[in-house]
Amino acid sequence: MNELNKRLTELNIGKVKENEPLANHTTIKIGGPADLFIEPSSIENLKKTMDFIIDNKVNWRAIGRGSNLLVSDKGIDGAVIKLGTGLNTLELDGTTLRVGGGYSLVALATSISRKGLSGLEFASGIPGSVGGAVYMNAGAHGSDISKILEKACILFEDGTMGWLSNEEMEFSYRTSVLQNKRPGIVVEAVFNLTEGDKDLISAEMQKNKDYRKDTQPWNSPCAGSIFRNPLPNYAGQLIEKAGLKGHSIGGAEISNMHGNFIVNTGSASAEDVLALIQHVKDTIYDLYQIKIETEVEIIGRK
């Protein structure tokens, strides 16, 4: 990777590092090194990065703010592209919002609420990026990204860039077309919002923030919800009913605040978390004959 690192650095595309620990870039503070770690300084440089990766046949994956992500202790082969400050553009035209994939979802929701625009209240406590939120159709409090997205600009794995409409994104519960049929990076998103009362919007956002603060362990390193809700059941309720709150393996522990969160108590490895995930799956199936699947994305070397 030394030669690739040198050539990437010469392209002046942004930050380029070798063997960067991904524990530094995930909210659960777990993850081994990426062979190459790239943080492009602009959309143009993101495109240059992808062209370079394709030309040199380098494996890659993109990350945002590192929530909803569990990275192997052994790290990741190839390149990790981080959407950071180079992709945090923001344009507002009336009630139409165009925003870069690297923009913080929480910061966006807060900023927009102050302008009296409604539609992002549900996102006030979701600690990811806009790109990640679109990629996985993030949601809470009865709403999600699919309710407000008009279209998304995608950098596809073949290096082409184009817009996908809401319908073309094929949104469903915590999924989109980008996760399987058409892999790519969310470069920008266009949201359609509505005018509302600033005080009412702020009150709704504060209520959502307070709910998360009171019920979820965001003061501890965690990845967010670990399991998808096996509707009509809820993963957290099943886990609590099974008496698994507080159960730990190594440094990984099921939160006492919310059964659908696993926290890193300080020394957790990805293997600890994976073992705890499997224990939860087995227990819930044994007790209730319900299969629960992970919502958190698990990536990296086996």
Answer yes or no: 295 catalytic: yes
Which residues are paired to 17 by β-bridges?
37
Q: Catalytic residue, from 67, 113, 146, 225: name it.
A: 225
Q: Catalytic residue, from 39, 65, 146, 174: name it.
A: 174
Q: Catalytic residue, from 39, 121, 253, 295: name it.
A: 295
8 A C-beta contact, residue 239 and residue 153: no
Answer yes or no: 225 catalytic: yes
Task: Give, rounded to a whole angstrom, the gap between the first and last alpha carbons of the chain.
Answer: 20
β 184-192/96-100 pair status:
antiparallel
Handedness of CA 201, 202, 206, 212 (dihedral sign): positive
- Residues with Cβ < 8 Å from 237, sequence gap 6 or more? 259
- Residues with Cβ < 8 Å from 294, sequence gap 6 or more? 226, 227, 228, 277
Answer yes or no: 42 catalytic: no
8 A C-beta contact, residue 72 and residue 302: yes
The residues that are catalytic are 174, 225, 295
